[in-house]
């Protein structure tokens, strides 16, 4: 009868498997090579079962692949329009934008009473609605990387957040007649009639008991993003668009120098705007609603409404809404400059 000897296993991972069967290698058969081959297959199978059962895997599961990040397009310019009792298409640039099929919603909205409502008849002189007008303004903008601020640009790209802005000036006599403002942001490569971002903001001025209130509010009515200047991820990216409006008025200080006094500011955000898709028609369920109240200017001098816009992309890390709105507000305020507070003795006309 052949003599058999026990094969002793000494590795740590084997000792963790108490239920592993003891293997015996037959000796004295005259064919050791055949015996080794005979036990090699079952031994390998048993070891694999042991390692799985005892949790002795050699490597952790690989995480799922992350969506590829898409850099934002370099921004180039911003443009804005404000009108009162005037056909929006009388501006050649805006008419070309509204003529595009993708901007049909904006075209219909601007032609509706919501953006072209006539002034109340009972307002009279006290209403101060002024003559019809349509004003436009534009601003060339550029990315931080183009201006040399590469460290700041890197932080902006990591956060998936970028901004643009424009200042629109007009006579305060016509302020009571405005109902809407239009904002367009262009990226490098955008055609003049096809801005990368188009938004319509509603300006609400309540008329109660024969007079206007001494404040106004704004809210987004329509937002469409053909592209974005913010970093995004995924095949169907979305962005959150935050708007800030800062009201300023030209005043003369005690020294006789003219300067712009800041009247007030407010912000509103619109989440989930699809990039390259249809525009969002804002309602109570899809947008954040009205802004906080902003004091109206007095019915004399020049008024400037500065509109700042931030675009926050989905990059896998949430961008805080307050941070996005602060970025929009900073863009509307513009470069640091001394701004006088409104004159304490001057009250807005109602």
Q: Give the Å distances, CA to CA, from 273 to 74, 227, 286.
A: 19, 11, 10
Report yes or no on whether pTM surpasses 0.95.
no
Residues 6+ apart with CB under 8 A from 4: 24, 25, 26, 27
DSSP per-residue string spanning 265-319: EEEEEEEEEEBTSPPEE--TTTS------EEPPPSSSEEEEEEEEEEEE-SSSPP
Q: Cβ-count burial of 95 within 10 angstroms (0-12 exposed, 13-18 middle, 19+ buried)?
A: middle
Tokens found for residue 51: 């390692």
Distance CA 65, CA 343 (A): 58
Distance CA 156, CA 145 (A): 10
What does DSSP say about strands 180-187 and 75-84: parallel, antiparallel, or unpaired? antiparallel
pLDDT at 59: 55
350 residues of the chain, pLDDT tens digit each: 555 544 444 444 444 444 444 444 455 545 544 444 444 445 445 544 444 444 555 556 665 555 567 778 889 999 999 999 999 999 999 999 999 999 999 999 999 999 986 655 544 444 556 788 999 999 987 654 444 444 444 444 445 889 999 999 999 988 989 999 999 999 999 999 999 999 999 999 887 777 888 999 999 999 999 999 998 887 888 999 999 999 999 988 888 888 899 999 999 999 889 999 888 887 655 566 789 999 999 878 899 999 999 999 876 556 688 999 999 999 999 875 444 343 333 333 33
Count CB-CB contacts under 10 A for residue 87. Answer: 13
Tokens found for residue 207: 């008329």
């Amino acid at each position: 009868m052949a003599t058999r000897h026990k094969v002793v296993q000494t590795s740590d991972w084997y000792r963790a498997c108490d239920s592993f069967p003891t293997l015996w290698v037959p000796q004295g058969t005259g064919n050791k090579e055949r015996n080794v081959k005979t036990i090699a297959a079952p031994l390998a199978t048993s070891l694999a079962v042991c390692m799985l059962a005892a949790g002795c895997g050699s490597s952790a599961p690989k995480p799922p692949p992350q969506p590829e990040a898409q850099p934002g397009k370099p921004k180039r310019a911003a443009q804005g329009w404000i009108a009162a009792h005037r056909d929006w298409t009388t501006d050649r640039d805006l008419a070309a934008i509204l003529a595009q099929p993708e901007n049909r919603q904006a075209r219909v909205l601007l032609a509706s009473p919501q953006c072209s409502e006539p002034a109340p008849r009972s307002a009279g002189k006290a209403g101060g609605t002024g003559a019809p007008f349509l004003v436009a303004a534009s601003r060339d903008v550029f990315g931080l990387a183009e201006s040399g601020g590469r460290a700041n640009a890197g932080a902006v790209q990591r956060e998936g957040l970028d901004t643009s802005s424009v200042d629109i000036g007009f006579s305060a006599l016509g302020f009571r007649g405005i109902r809407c403002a239009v904002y367009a942001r262009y990226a490098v490569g955008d055609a003049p009639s096809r801005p990368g971002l188009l938004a319509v903001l509603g300006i609400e001025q309540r008329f109660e008991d024969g007079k206007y209130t001494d404040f106004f509010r704004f809210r987004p009515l329509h937002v469409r993003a053909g592209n974005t200047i913010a970093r995004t991820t995924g095949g169907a990216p979305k962005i959150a668009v935050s708007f800030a409006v800062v009201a300023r008025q030209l005043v003369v200080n005690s020294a006789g120098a003219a300067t712009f006094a800041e009247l007030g500011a407010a912000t509103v955000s619109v989440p989930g705007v699809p990039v390259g898709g249809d525009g969002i028609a804002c309602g109570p369920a899809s947008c954040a609603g009205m802004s906080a109240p902003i004091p109206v200017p007095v019915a004399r001098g020049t008024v400037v409404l500065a509109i700042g816009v931030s675009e926050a992309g989905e990059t896998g890390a949430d961008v805080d809404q307050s941070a996005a709105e602060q970025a929009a507000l900073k863009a509307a305020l513009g470069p640091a400059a001394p701004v006088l507070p409104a004159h304490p003795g001057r009250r807005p006309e109602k």
